[in-house]
Amino acid sequence: MKAILSVLLFLNILAWTTVYDLSESDLEVVFLDVGQGDAIFIETPQNHQILIDGGPNSAVLKELGGEMPFWDRTVDLVVLTHPEKDHMTGLIEVLKRYKVKNILWTGVLRDTAEYKEWQRLMQEEEANIYIAKAGQQIEGGAVSLTILHPFENLAGKKASNTNNTSIIARLVFGQTSFLFTGDVCQSVEKDLLEGEAEVNSDVLKVGHHGSKTSSAPEFIEAVSPSVAVIQCGRDNPYGHPHPVTLESLAGVEILRTDLKGRVRIASDGFDCIVKN
C-alpha cells in the first residue's frame, strides 16, 4: 500500500467534477526561465502553489513575480529534488522572501556554503519538513503527486553522485500526467523500469538539462511523452542539450527554455495544451 504524505496544503479537498471552467479549473505547469538550472511552478485547480527547484540564482524571483500576484507572498509546497547549486540556490532566495508552508526534500548531506545556508533558512522558516521516499503521495482534489524516487530514506546520508539522489515525481490530473526527473542518470532510469514504476506521461521534464547521461532510449519509450521540456541556459558551457538526447526524443515535441524562455503547459484533465 502506498504511503500517503499528509501535507497541510491539501487539507482543502474538493470533489472531482467532469465540468471544467477553464478560468478556474485548469492545472498549470510552468517551466521557468532561470538559465542553466531547473525551476518549475505548478498551480492546481484549487490554487495550491508548488515550486519544484529554484534554479542557480535569484532569477527565480522575477519569474515567480510573473506568475503570482504581487500581494501573494506564500508558497504552499517547495520541493528540492537534490542539493546542487543549479537547483537549490534560487530556493534559498525564495525562503528569504516568501512564506513557505511545506518543504519536501531528500535530506541527503552536502558540504557546501549553499547547503548550509539552505539548512539554516529552512529551520528558520518553521515550515513542515518532509523527507521524500518512493511510494509517498500528495493529493489535493483531482490532482496527485506521486514520489517514484529515491527508493529509500536518504536523510543524513552522503552520496558520491547527488544527481542520482534526485526526487522523481509524477503529477496526475484527470487523464493527463507530467513526469519530473531531476538530474538522475540512466542507471536510475533503468532501476525505475526494472521496478515497473508508472512513468508513462504526457509531458516529460527531460533529465539533467538534456545531458547525454540521462534519457536512455528505452526510458523515453516507456514514458512515451507527447511533449518534452528541456530546462537549460542559453549558450551554456556544458553543451546541453546533447545531440544524443535530442535523437532519443525524435518524434516528440521538444520545448527548450534556452530557446523559448518560460514554457507554460495547461491541462483541463483531458488534454495538455502548450500555451506559449
Q: Which residue has the cell 500528495?
A: 138
pTM: 0.91
Q: How far apart are CA 106 and CA 188, in angstroms?
A: 16
For residue 17, is it within any domain? no
For residue 5, is it within any domain? no
For residue 12, is it within any domain? no
Q: How far apart are CA 122 and CA 2, in angstroms?
A: 27
Which residues partner with 171 through β-bridges? 145, 178
How many other CB atoms are found less than 10 A from the CB of residue 29?
25
Task: Give the relative orientation of helices 85-97 and 113-125 as an angle to the nearest 10 degrees.
Answer: 30
Domain assignment of residue 86, given as a range = 26-274
Position 25 scores a pLDDT of: 77
Phi-psi label, residue 174: left if phi above 0, alpha if psi -120 to 50, beta otherwise: left
For residue 11, is it within any domain? no
Q: How far apart are CA 81 and CA 88, in angstroms?
A: 9
Burial class (CB in 10 A: 0-12, 13-18, 19+), 111: exposed
Position 5 scores a pLDDT of: 47
Widest Cα–Cα separation across the chain: 50
Pairing of strands 272-274, 263-267: antiparallel
The number of CA neighbours under 13 Å toward the Cβ of 114 is: 17
Q: In what order do the strands lie in the sheet with 203-205?
A: 137-140, 143-149, 168-173, 176-180, 203-205, 227-230, 253-256
Q: How far apart are CA 201 and CA 199, in angstroms?
A: 6
For residue 10, is it within any domain? no
Position 8 scores a pLDDT of: 34
We report the CATH number of the domain holding residue 143 as 3.60.15.10
**What is the domain count for the chain?**
1
For residue 191, is it within any domain? yes
Say which amino acid occupies 26.
Answer: D
Position 18 scores a pLDDT of: 26
CB 168 within 8 A of CB 135: no
Q: How far apart are CA 43 and CA 27, in angstroms?
A: 6
Low-confidence stretches of the chain (pLDDT < 70) are 1-24
CB 150 within 8 A of CB 134: yes
Position 141 scores a pLDDT of: 83
Which residues partner with 139 through β-bridges? 144
For residue 137, is it within any domain? yes
